[in-house]
Structure 1
Amino acid sequence: MEKLVWLVVFMNSFTTFHAILELIGTHDTEGTWKSSITLPCVYEPSQDFVQQTVIWTLFQDQSPATVFRRDSSGDHILLSQYRGRVSMPNSMPGDVSLEIEKLEVRDSGHYTCKVTWRAQDKSLLTRERTTTVKVVKVAVTKPIVRPGPLGFTVPKGARTSLTCSAKGSPPITYRWFKGEPGGNTVLVSNHAILMFDSLRTSDTGKYYCEAENRASSQVMQQSDAVQLTVRGYQGTSLPLYLIILIVVLCVAVVCVVIALVLCKRKTKKDNLNEITDHNSKNLTRGETCSGVNDKCTYEEAKSRGENNYTSQPVKENEYETIGTVKKNDYATLRKATASEYELGDVP
């Protein structure tokens, strides 16, 4: 009975460990030539087990070859044809997926992910999972032409571009032609983007592009022709009546400006004559004009504006003399007046 209980416990533990450390991935996947692919291999980490090594092995023609190995010393790429093209993430514990960049046709094969853990009792546990990879070349699709921000109708002298876009296995080569497919065409570019730094009216016309890759089908695809129109100066000319109206308005404006200038000069000349005449009159009156802001400084004769008053004190006897003179003058004037009245009364 005790042996049966021990066996049940052992089987439960083994089943639990097996579920925790089970590798999850895909059995088959398809990659596109010259693109990137990720071969998934993920497990749920356990505190009872420590990851020791991860080995990715490629089986081709029944001969295994180690592509990638991770251990305590770091990551190692063991096949020269994969150097610089394979890697394994470090950010997520339990994720030991293999990423392959720039796939080549010879990368097709069976890839086995082998992980080894060490248990607390120093024992080792190993799990494996195999994924079959097939690298294919996808033929290029029919390209699409996209215009620049200004569209297909662009003013003369502007900068614009036409972009040719197609899907398929890289690398994809592009060619631009001016004209229509099947007609007289001119090769203008070997790039995906056709640039026009400064458009000319001669750039007006139809354009189309071709896309091609090295897929097994070797199919070349052509886009639909698009019309690029360059608006020149003749395309934006105004009607004749509008041009005449603009010319008449311009002449009228010029005449008004000339009249204002002449009027301003005449007004200024009249002001100068008035100032000159005014200054002449002032000179005849004995006045001197400065000519600044039409202001004149008048200078009268000294005889008119002289002040004979003195600030020296007057003596007392002088006051008496002045007073006496005034009194005598008043008496004389009074006597003369009385005598005149008497003479008037004589018959």
Structure 2
Amino acid sequence: MKCKSNCLPDQHPYTWIKNGKEILPETSSSISFTFFDTDHISCAAPGYEKFPSPSVYMPKLPSVSLGSSGEILEGSSITLICTSDANPAANYTWYKRNVPDPLGKDSQLVFKSVQSSDTGKYFCKADNVLKMIKSEDISVDVEYAPRLPLVSLTPSGEIVEGSSVTLTCSSDANPAANYSWFKENDQSLQHSRQNFTITNIGRQHSGIYYCDVQNKRGSHKSAIHLTVVAWRSFKIRNITKLAVTILLLLILLIFLSVWMRKKKTIGLETERKEHEENLELGTDPNYENISSLRAFAALQKEEEEKQNNPM
């Protein structure tokens, strides 16, 4: 640290004061000092200790606050404020919990149009040349109306009479949404939870069902069609499907059989033509063997005739 006065030369001795009352032994204009959290150091001209300089000290624990009170609505503008007493004045850095990169380097963090993804815990860091002291967390809880709900059936597809089915509805919302199930052309409430199970289902349960989700920020709904078929119809339909499947397999087998037979016939015909061509060209191995035998027999006969008729 260095103490300077417009009324005194740079090399003039100074008085150094710790925490407003303890006089330090150093008297030069520049000193080195190890700070602790509560230390405040100031200097004064000798004889004027009652009129010291402003104290130098580490940043105090930062406090964080929300610029406006009340609930935080999606799309609104909010400001987070960080303050810390420090000299030299503190610099500020904002962070979101579990996000490593800083969000801003100012005493205020402004969200012009806050979104549901901004929900979370935030904190700030205040630092000067002496130290960096971190704030407590402040929670940002963004409220929004339910998103378009997703509805599904378990099991899916057509439902057979006498079985059970569960209709499921889910939606992202803050605060958590309330769920209501209604059937088309029926104003009475069918169910008031996410999962709506119908046991021993009958044909009268067929129709369109609506899932209505709502909280204090708004509402949304989606529909799903439930089809219930009689057991006899279901059985006949399955038998028909099986018969069609078997018929298709038979047709496929017949086609493969015909194709293999045709392929074999084409192969035999090709071999026959190649054999005839080889005979014509005299290149067939069997033909060559027969020609050789004939030539040998003719030569042998000619030798016998010479021996019988020497003249």
Pick the TM interval, shorter chain. Answer: 0.3 to 0.5
Q: TM-score if structure 2 supplies the norm length?
A: 0.35
Structure number with bigger Rg: 1
Q: TM-score if structure 1 supplies the norm length?
A: 0.31
Higher RCO (CA-CA < 8 Å; seq separation 6+): 1
- Bigger share in helix: 1
